[in-house]
Chain A
């Protein structure tokens, strides 16, 4: 089954404790990205990757890091989480760019930083 898999689904952590949220897709998609969803603000892009070893900032990259060492994986790293990073996070992938490109999303990771 074609899917985007995020782990963990739920995470509660303390301020400053480094964490990684994993994302993996099995569709051989080149493009992957991370979004956060906050009430009243909608989904906003954090980082994206056009291909292996190619990453760039989205609209809200502060406090986050990513890496793309393999095509299928795109982990999101919070080196020193803060309470304002409490949010619902989504990983997405798509085959490429262009009009027929459909985005597929993971099930989300609900992160709470206390």
Chain B
């Protein structure tokens, strides 16, 4: 059974800091890994998708890496801003079983002025 863990559960940083969010998964038989952002009371916004054959993806100040063999992914946020405050979720899509996404429980990020 695939299990996804995100550490830390919560993080508070001053504006301008570079930060790393971690995601680990137990089963490396995945199609891809997707990072999402969730604002309070809102839906999930897709940030980055990394296919299992890729090592990293970048979008603006965000960079996500994937090490499938060790079951790890990191989301790097450069020069954090208060608007980055949200919960960040990672999810892996595994082979078979109906294309299900298995989610971590998220990292709640607060960027302070």
Contact = CB atoms under 8 A, between A and B. Distances in A.
B41 A97 contact: no
Interface string A88-109: 0010101011111111111110
B46 A102 contact: yes
Interface stretch (A11-19, A37-45, A62-70, A71-79): A37-45
Nearest to B36: A105
Contacts of B101: 33, 35, 43, 45, 92, 103
Interface stretch (B15-23, B73-81, B92-100): B92-100
Contacts of A44: 103
Contacts of B98: 33, 45, 48, 50, 56, 58
Contact of B31 (A31, A40, A41, A99): A99
A33 B91 CA distance: 14
A105 B4 CA distance: 19
B32 A94 contact: no
Interface of A: 31, 33, 35, 40-45, 48, 50, 56, 58-59, 90, 92, 94, 96-108, 110
